[in-house]
């Protein structure tokens, strides 16, 4: 908890962050003089060390079976290495001296967020591939208002290649992250290959694994975070205006509700789990929840883009649209593309009288506009890495 409080303090206090940034960036770049690059070392992380999942995992699983990478040393960095089992790789802890030396030595960085830990450095011979972790509805990077202190970025972006699943996404990320447009690999997100290629047998296996009854529809509620809603320790809070007892009374005969908070959220609204509602925030594989579910409910999250690949119902719950637009800003209005509501009563009524065919047609139209590439991204991304480092 103390480490989390320190990270939040650095993230939201400009003076503290500037001191950390300039002092530590200079120290690590000086260390570069004494570190010899290792052409056979590849460094991975997911969400900066929070998890073993997402596109970096999908890339790793293809790469470790690829004969082109025989003899390479794979290293995964985690905040808590003891929590994860990674076959064929060494695990290290983020933020220690070993982490920064490894990062400087590595021939490639493979991440979906960042490797630099809020600093600015890169190894002499390092190829930096960033898959990112979703397409943008909400403003990102340099497009965010200057008074939004939680997203300050310094220094030149050193990404060599970034994945994109649409031209829309590549154009926006090129601008807001300061990455040349030619540096985008337009093949989709490796994590989404599974969403495009799963079988009904696999979906049924997941539902049994999750103890989801076959006679009920499963709603997956995945809202994004509000960086401006914080607790006393500067942790982000998730507290949508939902009376879960009302949801259960109205929908419990027909539905199950899975609630999953964004990884930036430190405190989730009180959820009393029962046969109707489950808190799946800590469930390790989001793709499994998406495949097992029948309906997505979200707001301004990139999960809409991923979920659309599966041709299922998607609804928006935009209870704070005006506030979010003012404080964070958005590239487009999700309400123009999908059905949904700004209050729980109307949303519950939509669910009670759901027109699945109509909602799926809206999903398909959304995907056709915003998701141009999917299904084979992991292999194509590994080919790209091989082209650059072998």
Tens digits of per-residue pLDDT, 184-219? 999 999 999 999 999 999 999 999 999 999 999 999
- Burial per residue of 43-58, b for 16 or more beta-carbon CB atoms within 10 angstroms, e otherwise: bbbbbbbbbbbbbbbb
Any residues with CB less than 8 A from the CB of 14 and at least 6 apart, and which? 149, 152
Tens digits of per-residue pLDDT, 18-43? 898 999 999 999 999 999 999 999 99
Q: What angle do CA 264, 169, 146 make, to 5 degrees?
A: 55
Choice among 82-96, 106-120, 255-269 with the minimum mean pLDDT: 255-269
Averaged pLDDT, 115-140: 95
Residue 163: closest CA among 366, 390, 383: 383
Measured distance CA(238)–CA(230) in Å, rounded = 9
Averaged pLDDT, 339-352: 98
The domains of the chain, with CATH numbers, are: 2-188+375-389 (3.40.50.11820), 194-370 (3.40.50.12580)
Contact predicate 98/118, CB 8 Å: no
Handedness of CA 27, 29, 30, 33 (dihedral sign): positive
Q: What is the pLDDT of residue 1?
A: 46
78: left (phi over 0), alpha (psi -120 to 50) or beta: beta
Q: What is the pLDDT of residue 186?
A: 98
Rg (CA), the chain: 21
Q: What is the pLDDT of residue 9?
A: 62
Tens digits of per-residue pLDDT, 289-316? 999 999 999 999 999 999 999 999 999 9
Average pLDDT, the chain: 92
Tens digits of per-residue pLDDT, 216-269? 999 999 999 888 776 666 677 777 889 999 999 999 999 999 999 887 776 676
pTM, to two decimals: 0.92
Helix-, strand-, coil-residue percentages of the chain, each rounded to 5: 45, 15, 40
Tens digits of per-residue pLDDT, 139-182? 999 898 776 655 556 778 999 999 999 999 999 999 999 999 99
Beta-bridged to residue 314, according to DSSP, are: 296
Q: What is the pLDDT of residue 2?
A: 42
Q: What is the pLDDT of residue 239?
A: 79
């Amino acid at each position: 908890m103390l480490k989390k409080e320190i990270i939040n303090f650095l993230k939201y206090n400009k003076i503290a962050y500037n001191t950390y940034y300039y002092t530590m960036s200079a120290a690590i770049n000086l260390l570069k003089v004494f570190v010899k690059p290792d052409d056979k070392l590849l460094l991975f992380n997911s969400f900066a060390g929070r998890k073993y999942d997402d596109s970096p995992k999908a890339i790793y699983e293809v790469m470790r079976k690829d004969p082109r990478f025989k003899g390479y040393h794979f290293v995964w960095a985690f905040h808590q290495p003891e929590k994860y089992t990674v076959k064929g790789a060494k695990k290290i802890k983020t933020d220690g001296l070993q982490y920064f030396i490894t990062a400087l030595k590595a021939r490639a960085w493979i991440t979906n967020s960042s490797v630099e830990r809020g600093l600015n450095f890169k190894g002499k011979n390092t190829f930096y591939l960033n898959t990112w972790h979703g397409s943008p509805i909400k403003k990102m990077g340099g497009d965010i208002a200057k008074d939004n202190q939680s997203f300050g970025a310094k220094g030149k972006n050193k990404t060599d290649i970034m994945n994109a699943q649409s031209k829309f996404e590549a154009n926006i990320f090129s601008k807001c992250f300061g990455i040349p447009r030619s540096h985008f690999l337009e093949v989709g997100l490796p994590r989404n290959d599974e969403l495009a290629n799963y079988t009904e047998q696999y979906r049924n296996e997941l539902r049994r694994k999750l103890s989801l009854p076959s006679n009920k529809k499963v709603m997956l509620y995945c809202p994004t975070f509000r960086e401006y809603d914080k607790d006393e320790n500067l942790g982000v809070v998730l507290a949508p205006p939902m009376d879960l007892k009302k949801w259960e009374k109205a929908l419990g005969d027909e539905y199950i509700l899975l609630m999953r908070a964004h990884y930036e959220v430190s405190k989730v609204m009180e959820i009393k789990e029962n046969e109707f509602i489950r808190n799946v925030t800590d469930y390790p594989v989001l793709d499994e929840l998406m495949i097992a579910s029948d309906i997505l409910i979200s707001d301004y999250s990139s999960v809409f883009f991923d979920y659309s690949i599966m041709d299922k119902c998607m609804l928006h719950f935009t209870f704070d649209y005006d506030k979010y637009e003012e404080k964070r800003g958005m590239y487009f209005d999700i309400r123009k593309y999908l059905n949904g509501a700004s209050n729980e009563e109307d949303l519950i009524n939509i669910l009670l009288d759901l027109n699945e065919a109509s909602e799926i047609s809206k999903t398909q139209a959304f995907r056709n506009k915003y998701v141009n590439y999917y299904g084979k991204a992991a292999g194509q991304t590994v080919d790209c890495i091989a082209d650059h480092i072998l």
